[in-house]
Structure 1
Amino acid sequence: MSQATTGPAATAGGAKSDGGLGGFIRATEIDTRMLGMVGALLVIWVVFHILSGGIFLTPRNLWNLTVQTASIAVMATGMVLVIVTRNIDLSVGSILGFTGMAMAALQVDILPGLLGFNSPFSWIITLAVGVAIGIVIGGLQGYVIAFLGVPAFIVTLGGLLVWRGGAWWLTSGRTVAPLDDTFRLMGGGATGSLGETWTWILAIVACVAVAVSLVMARRRRHGYGFPLRPVWAEAAMAIIAFAAILGAAWILNSYHWPSAIARRYAEAQGIEAPEGGLQIGYGVAVPVLIAIVVGIVMTFVARRTRFGRYVFAIGGNPEAAELAGINTRWVLMKVFMLMGALAALGAAISTARLNAATNALGTLDELYVIAAAVIGGTSLAGGAGTIIGAMLGALVMQSLQSGMVLLGVDSPLQSIVVGVVLVVAVWIDTVYRRRAA
């Protein structure tokens, strides 16, 4: 069998395609919407860097940006599946607040009396209980939506109010702190990061994984008789991915521990600090690593499992999916259970980062999560969306918020900007799909 190629060298009509950017995009088969999102993100970064006097694109701010994005990115991966099924979840911020308060109360008020302070099992039990609570809440809401036929908008709007009130009721409105030392590693910080060595190891492993995935994808296409991308296009994609991964690792390692923390660490480890002080890079933060793992797992679930195929089939045509024998109600309920679990995981990251659970935890997070999914290309009409797009959308939303904070923009104006961005994103999605049709 001959290996047919696509791109500038060959097109469906047999004529050569034009070169330049258009030819490159066709040869590499890059999603133009994803490319546009990356371009918009770069523009946002450059504009804020200029307006902030050169503060935005610094290792310190970019490291903080990744940590602040982690919680929203984790929840956005679940929101993709919710919206793909033509539903919405307005309660994720309140579920985050409720589960976060439950986990904090568990490890502060209950577990110390049972296991002692800073038990090595406290964080595991806390996380397991929190995720279980999230699954139960999501399952309860999913049951009402799927089996009782109440619209998701109404159910989750009620959940927004119920679980926010429940978070206050759990502790009578008090802030719960401090949290278990090991649990706090999920929030980042000096000890909650991989460090320079492990960050470089992770980057190299990621580059190898990219290379293997490109080779395996090419073999699968050849095995099914599909046209192959030109070798130069595959190489270009690999080089771009390698540069992005290694560049990110270099930036994260360039942000060093504060001198006081590094000095105390050197004294505790018996290390003789050099004259200029010990320089220890943060590297990849634990919450960012969690978000990356969740993104990989959710991408696999969405693209490689029967459950994921059912979700997209339901979003594309619910009636046809049911006639095809798919238990649409049970699948829909599982989607909301998964969303609840991810909201609980987001709560663990948020509370660990703050070292406390407050009644305001997760407020308006539902707005950012939905906006991240929509900006990332998830259609509110259902049936279309990508996990990586939602995570990039979360980075876009957090970049906007972080940039406005650096510029001293008032909080109400920040909300106005986020609202406008969400509306524009939905409008662009509508125009794009109308033209595609």
Structure 2
Amino acid sequence: MTQSEAELSPARPPAAPKKNIVQTLELDLRLLGMIGAFAVLCIGFDLVTGGRFLTPRNIFNLTIQTVSVAIMATGMVFVIVTRHIDLSVGALLATCSAVMAMTQTQFLPNVLGLGLGHPLIPWISIAVGLLVGTLIGAFHGWMIGYLAIPAFIVTLGGLLVWRNVGWYLTSGKTIGPLDPTFQKFGGINGTLGATGSWVLGLLAVAGALYGLWASRRNKIKHGFSVKPMWAEGILASIITSAILGFVAILNAYEVPTRKLQRMFEARGEVMPEGFTQSYGIPISVLLLIFIAIAMTILAKRTRLGRYIFATGGNPDAAELSGINTRWLTVKIFALMGALCAVSAVVASARLTNHSNDIGTLDELRVIAAAVIGGTALAGGLGTIHGAILGALIMQSLQSGMAMVGVDAPLQNIVVGAVLVLAVLIDIIYRKKTGES
């Protein structure tokens, strides 16, 4: 070909770069890394403990122990995204727990005359706890947003104040046992059983598959590129396997025979020979799933969520664009307070009583869960599912070390080191990917 012919021939478009399977499936590399770290952690502890870590019983206990911190971690995402911090969540949990315990054991029976076991007692107690948590959180937000006191100082003061307010409310005593209906939110005393868990699992699979189909249809409708059908099939298979596998594991944990016998004896019946019963999915896990879905929708599909991430990305620009950042701060901390109250329900119900050390050091676990889950301390970036996975990693680490026989001081040393390492890895990742 002569030079003139080469000049006249049309230039070939550059070949599209080949995608690997991760890019084709459009998977989040940070999320994959967290899942991989979690898997390595679980397998490692299972080998060290002689196969005791990945048993249905331990996985069941691990889930119900994670819920309380995970619920608060979803709210901490919004707090950190807007460049604030909340050091008072553990103390606020303790105050809400004390208020609910005193409401159902002292105030309602003695003042309003509602006898123990009255069906309204747990619900009134929860409503009072939610009101108290929301008001305290809003008060924190008002001081931060309108009085311009740094969040670190406000919530550090709150840590000291509310921990001791809870102590004074109960005169330093353990309050319990709590209402039986209230205890169902703790996990072990409230589960769906095998049949209910399978029904919920199948409904969850149907919802997830519908979500994939609706997302694909919406992309096609607006002219966006979509994944090939084989990639959609792989994603659907992974999601289905994860949901049904989780249900199967929890259903494999059976109620101890002695407990079943006591249950039959309490009803004046004799337990049939060979009778078994599975725990299934705990109600507390259902509560976490509901909150995770609601918080994700709030973050991605509402004006409030857009305002939160816009403010975290650039507070000055957000204020100049018309966002009332001071009122937004009040809303965020009020939501954080409400979530602390919900966590207080789960934590005290799991223990079946209120104790003065409830929620101790939870503020550090919650912040660590959010940061390990990918929430940027510089603000503007964070995900709800990442925070929940971070909470699960934290609890797995502590539970595994406890099973191995690691002393509590060394456990805290390891957790602190992991937190610093997670932040370092996150900084390196953001620099390499160009994220702010």
TM-score (norm 2): 0.94
Give the whole-Å Cα distance in 2 for the aligned partners of 1:230 and 1:304.
26
User: 2:231 aligns to what?
Assistant: 233
Amino acid in structure 1 at the alignment position of 2:192: L
Aligned-pair CA distance for 1:264: 3.2
1:36 to 2:33 alignment: yes
User: 2:16 aligns to what?
Assistant: 15
Relative to structure 1, the CA distance from residue 270 to residue 26 in structure 2 (aligned partners, 3 Å threshold; closer, same or farther) is: farther
Deviates more, 1:170-179 or 1:136-145: 170-179
Give the whole-Å Cα distance in 1 for the aligned partners of 2:358 and 2:389.
23
User: 2:402 aligns to what?
Assistant: 405
Q: Is the 8 A contact 1:377 1:390 kept in 2?
A: yes
Instruction: Map 1:38-437 onto structure 2 (within 5 A).
Output: 38-113=35-110, 114=112, 115-189=114-188, 191-267=189-265, 273-275=271-273, 277-437=274-434
Give the whole-Å Cα distance in 2 for the aligned partners of 1:334 and 1:325.
16
User: 1:4 aligns to what?
Assistant: none
Aligned-pair CA distance for 1:436: 2.2
Q: Is the 8 A contact 1:372 1:394 kept in 2?
A: yes
Give the whole-Å Cα distance in 1 for the aligned partners of 2:15 and 2:109.
72
Aligned-pair CA distance for 1:265: 3.3
Q: Is the 8 A contact 1:263 1:278 kept in 2?
A: no
Q: Is the 8 A contact 1:266 1:278 kept in 2?
A: no
Aligned-pair CA distance for 1:35: 0.5
Give the whole-Å Cα distance in 2 for the aligned partners of 1:405 and 1:32.
30
Give the whole-Å Cα distance in 2 for the aligned partners of 1:170 and 1:273.
43
Aligned-pair CA distance for 1:13: 5.6
SS of structure 1 residue aligned to 2:33: helix
SS of structure 2 residue aligned to 1:228: coil
Give the whole-Å Cα distance in 1 for the aligned partners of 2:422 and 2:117.
45
Q: Is the 8 A contact 1:138 1:337 kept in 2?
A: yes
Aligned-pair CA distance for 1:16: 4.9
Q: Is the 8 A contact 1:404 1:414 kept in 2?
A: yes
Give the whole-Å Cα distance in 2 for the aligned partners of 1:209 and 1:220.
16
Give the whole-Å Cα distance in 2 for the aligned partners of 1:224 and 1:201.
35
Amino acid in structure 2 at the alignment position of 1:297: A
Give the whole-Å Cα distance in 2 for the aligned partners of 1:217 and 1:14.
28
User: 2:5 aligns to what?
Assistant: none
Amino acid in structure 1 at the alignment position of 2:209: A
Aligned-pair CA distance for 1:385: 0.5
Give the whole-Å Cα distance in 1 for the aligned partners of 2:264 and 2:38.
38
TM-score (norm 1): 0.94
Relative to structure 1, the CA distance from residue 269 to residue 207 in structure 2 (aligned partners, 3 Å threshold; closer, same or farther) is: farther
Relative to structure 1, the CA distance from residue 211 to residue 150 in structure 2 (aligned partners, 3 Å threshold; closer, same or farther) is: same
Q: Is the 8 A contact 2:261 2:270 kept in 1?
A: no
Amino acid in structure 2 at the alignment position of 1:94: A
Relative to structure 1, the CA distance from residue 406 to residue 317 in structure 2 (aligned partners, 3 Å threshold; closer, same or farther) is: same
Q: Is the 8 A contact 2:97 2:344 kept in 1?
A: yes
SS of structure 2 residue aligned to 1:182: helix
Q: Is the 8 A contact 1:94 1:161 kept in 2?
A: yes
User: 1:7 aligns to what?
Assistant: none
* Residue-by-residue CA offset, 1:197-235 (whole Å, 9 max, x unaligned): 000000000000100100111112112221111111111
Amino acid in structure 2 at the alignment position of 1:101: A
Q: How many residues align?
A: 420
User: 2:3 aligns to what?
Assistant: none
Aligned-pair CA distance for 1:429: 1.3
* Residue-by-residue CA offset, 1:84-143 (whole Å, 9 max, x unaligned): 001110100000011111111111111122211111001110101101100011000000
The unaligned stretches of length 5 or more in structure 2 are: 1-12
| Structure 1 moving runs of 4+ over 2 Å | 12-16, 263-275
Aligned-pair CA distance for 1:357: 0.9
User: 1:6 aligns to what?
Assistant: none
Give the whole-Å Cα distance in 2 for the aligned partners of 1:26 and 1:257.
44
* Residue-by-residue CA offset, 1:229-259 (whole Å, 9 max, x unaligned): 1111111111000000000000000000010
Give the whole-Å Cα distance in 1 for the aligned partners of 2:193 and 2:393.
26
Give the whole-Å Cα distance in 1 for the aligned partners of 2:29 and 2:280.
31
Aligned-pair CA distance for 1:24: 1.1
Give the whole-Å Cα distance in 1 for the aligned partners of 2:248 and 2:143.
48
